[in-house]
Amino acid sequence: MPRPICFMIMPYSTKPTGEPTGSGGPDKVNFDRLWEVPFRPAIDNEGYEPVYANEYVCILIGNEMIGRLVISDLVLTDASIPNSTVYYEVGIRHAAQKQCCIMTAATGSKPLFDIDQMRQIRYALPDESVSDDTASEISRIVQACNITDSKDSASVG
C-alpha cells in the first residue's frame, strides 16, 4: 500500500531573507539544505512520502503542481521569507482543501499579511547553512507537532 503524500511548499536554493544585518537571523537561507536535512527526514519519519516541488523536472506551477497541491494528504509549508510562489501555492491548497496544511517559519521571520495571521510552527534558524544541530532541532519540532495525528484537524487558518 502506498504511503500518504506530504507535499512541501517552500522556496528553493539560497535566498535572501531581507533581514537587516545584526537582527539575529541570517541574511540568507539555504532552502535546499533545509529541505534535505530537517524537513524530508521529519516527514519520512512520520510515515509520509516526502515530495518537494524543486525535485520535479519542471518546477513551473502547472497542472502537475496544482494537482499535487489538491490531492496530497498533507501539505507542509515554510513561510520564512515573503515568497510569492509559496503564497500562491498556499492559496491553491486553501481553496482546494481547508484542512491538512501545516505552516512553518523561522523564529523572527515576518511573513506578509494573511500568511502571518495563520498558526505557524516556529523554529530557530541562526545561520544560512542550517547546521546539523539546527537541522536536528527543526526536525524534532516538526515531528513534535504530530503531523500524523493532526492531519485531520490541521488547517491553514
Per-domain residue ranges of the chain: 5-17+26-150
Average pLDDT over residues 12-32: 81
Query: Can you give the pLDDT at residue 153?
Result: 39
Beta carbons within 8 Å of 50's beta carbon, 6+ residues apart: 6, 8, 39, 40, 43, 44
CA dihedral 137, 11, 7, 41 (to 10 degrees): -30
pLDDT in tens, 82-127: 888 888 888 898 888 767 788 888 887 876 766 666 777 888 888 7
pLDDT winner (highest mean) among 11-25, 63-77, 93-107:
63-77
Average pLDDT over residues 7-29: 82
- Look at residue 11 and tell me whether its pLDDT is greater than 70: yes
Residue with cell 501555492: 89
Instruction: Classify residue 15 as left (phi > 0), alpha (psi -120 to 50) or beta.
Output: beta
Distance CA 131, CA 137 (A): 10
Query: For residues 149 and 154, which has the higher predicted lDDT (pLDDT)?
Result: 149
Topology classification of domain 5-17+26-150: Rossmann fold (3.40.50)
C-alpha radius of gyration, the chain, whole number:
14
- Look at residue 157 and tell me whether its pLDDT is greater than 80: no
Q: pTM (2 decimals)?
A: 0.81
